[in-house]
Chain A
Amino acid sequence: MKTKNKMTRKEKILLSWTIIPLALYTLFFIVPVAMGINYSFTDWNGLTQTYNYNGIANFISLFTSKRILNSLAFTGKYTFFLVIIIMFLAMLFTILLTYVVSTRLRTFFRSVIFFPVVLSLVTVGLVWNQIMYRVLPQLGQMLGIGWLSSNILGDPKTAMWGVIFVNVWQGVAVPFVILLAGIQNVPTDLYEAAKIDGATPFKLFTKITIPFLIPTINVAFVMVLKSGITVFDYIQAMTAGGPMRSTESAGVLIYELAFTDSKAGQASAYAFLLLIIIALISVLQMKVSSKVEVGQL
């Protein structure tokens, strides 16, 4: 309280500017997180006024419930392929637009590839859902492609790929523009110096471009990783977790447990597990990126 008496008029005004944001943040973020942690140790069904504490039973159930394990496995698989495909395509687009395409067409292709970002995830999911349901089977029959002749989202074996395709369609844009911006920031004098030393274009790329791009790749990678782990909108709009729970992600199952199955306690514990995974990834990212930056200096 000593500092408060010493505060100047200006500082008091600035202090008053923090009151409303802090109040909002406390009410809608800090309080709910605390409530969620509390719920995760209870058998609350989400509807009644009362509930009992049941220790770590919810957390144990995360590793024994078949449905939860199934959703964890799905989320892992989904995220794995999502990250690989998006990072590969984003890198490919970046390389092609930087080294092959002329400047005018580069701007054009960047605008087109980036466009899906402005659309709502759920609208995108619904539009593609209709296309996969009605248009693609027609196309598949016309061209005589077997797997395309029926709705990809209707078959447990192919449904995940349908959702991944749509997620990539929209999700490749931001990683791509980040990489494109990053590659243009590589200092050109380094290239010239290396060229004089007789470096091949391939060497230039692997020895100069890639090391400079690593922090950017790191950012894009973690962004896609997090979006995969928490995927919800696309699945809800396209398959709602089906068919036969073959696309039930962690995000979708938490929603189902909480609002359909009246297992709010278990849902909170599952959400908490997700929080720990995301937090670990973020900490790891900060460690890696600080190391890379130190290494570069």
Chain B
Amino acid sequence: MKKKIPVKVITYIFLAFIAILVIFPIYVTFATAFKTTEESTKNFFSWPQNIYIGNFVKVMADAHFWDYIKNSFLITVISVVVTGIMIPMVSFSIARLMRKYKYFKILYFVFVLSLFAPFQVLMVPLTQLCTKLGLMNQAGIILIYCAFALGQGVFLFVGYYKSIPVELEEAAVIDGCTTTQTFFKIVFPLAKPMTMTVIILNTLWIWNDFLLPLLILNKSASNWTLPLYQYNFKSAYTFDYNLAFASFMFSIVPMIIMYICLQKNIIEGLTAGAVKS
């Protein structure tokens, strides 16, 4: 019994240290964003004595500032909504017909294949392709996200549909439902937990993505997303890091709010996404 107490004490001290290490950069971001340059030069660690919003005013004065917010928001929402309907539908076709027709089985393996490809392979050709097709813009990147989301989404959904009994669908057909009605009234509601998982995985990925916007949207500032804007202003803010931290707040705060609201779903979703793929 005597031995147990020190182990506990050391564990809690260690974990408290880890917790501080996790929160520290977030604290610094908040504190610095609300301080003037003079105040943070004096003491980087202190909480701002007077809340100074001048940094935010300056960041928002950027001619394209609202474009970055709008782009990030629209690209994420449209891609997530489209994939949130398209993936459940195509996965349903595959799950129900892959044992009967070769086409669906091959389709499944072709989609899942993309999980193995590192993005570097697609970098050069994708840029070339989008230039030729005139898709170096928001519409182009949305189409690409929809295509890239298929691999993991189809993999997760096909596995999930196997657990939904076919008898329910047959009963709905007897009651006079068409195939489309059966899907949307019976199957889609039953698959809600998996839809939630896929939506969370895709939202985090698309909102936070950097490499694809860097390739497709970097040419004109009016096309930038928030991560791209922060990256491009890295050098512009070298001398005014309070501004840099204020700009980080715009992508961190929405995610903190989302994490607080949907924490359980996010942890479960990412665990499921990782374990099953």
Q: Which residues of A contact B (CB under 8 A)?
A: 3, 9-11, 13-15, 17-18, 20-22, 24-25, 27-33, 35-36, 39, 46, 93, 96, 100-101, 105, 109-124, 126-131, 134-135, 138, 169, 174, 177-178, 181, 216, 219-220, 223, 226, 229-230, 232-233, 236-237, 250-251, 254-255, 258-259, 264, 267-268, 270-272, 274-275, 278-279, 282
Contacts and interface: CB of A to CB of B under 8 A. Distances in A.
A178 B86 CA distance: 28
Given A39-B124, A268-B124, A29 B114 contact: yes
Interface of B: 7-8, 11-12, 14-15, 18-19, 21-25, 28-29, 44-45, 86-87, 89-90, 92-94, 96-97, 100-101, 103-104, 107, 110-111, 114, 116-129, 143-144, 146-148, 150, 173, 179-180, 204, 207-211, 226-227, 230-231, 234, 241, 244-245, 248, 251-252, 255-256, 258-259, 263, 266-267, 270-271, 274-275
Contact of B271 (A20, A178, A250, A282): A178
B147 A115 contact: no
Contact of B117 (A9, A33, A237): A33
Per DSSP, are chain A's interface residues mostly helix, strand or loop, or mixed?
A: helix
Pick the most buried of A27, A127, A226: most chain B CB atoms within 10 A of its CB: A127
Contacts of B117: 29, 33, 275, 278
A123 B97 contact: no
Contacts of A21: 86-87, 90, 111, 150
A14 to B, nearest CB: 4
Given A9-B179, A116-B22, A126-B231, 10 more contacts: A14-B179, A24-B146, A27-B147, A28-B148, A29-B148, A32-B125, A100-B11, A112-B18, A117-B266, A123-B230
Contacts of B173: 10
Contact of A96 (B14, B204, B244, B258): B14
Contact of B121 (A114, A118, A129, A272): A272
A36 B150 contact: no
Contacts of B92: 14, 17
Contacts of A28: 126, 129, 143-144, 147-148
B252 A119 contact: yes
A89 B226 CA distance: 31
Contact of A13 (B25, B179, B226): B179
A26 to B, nearest CB: 9
B213 to A, nearest CB: 10
A101 B144 CA distance: 44
A14 B107 CA distance: 13
B125 A35 contact: yes
B121 A274 contact: yes
A117 B208 CA distance: 10
Contacts of A14: 92-93, 96-97, 179
B120 A123 contact: no
Contact of B234 (A100, A126, A275): A126
A112 B143 contact: no
A101 B147 CA distance: 43
Given A9-B179, A17-B92, A131-B25, A236 B19 contact: no
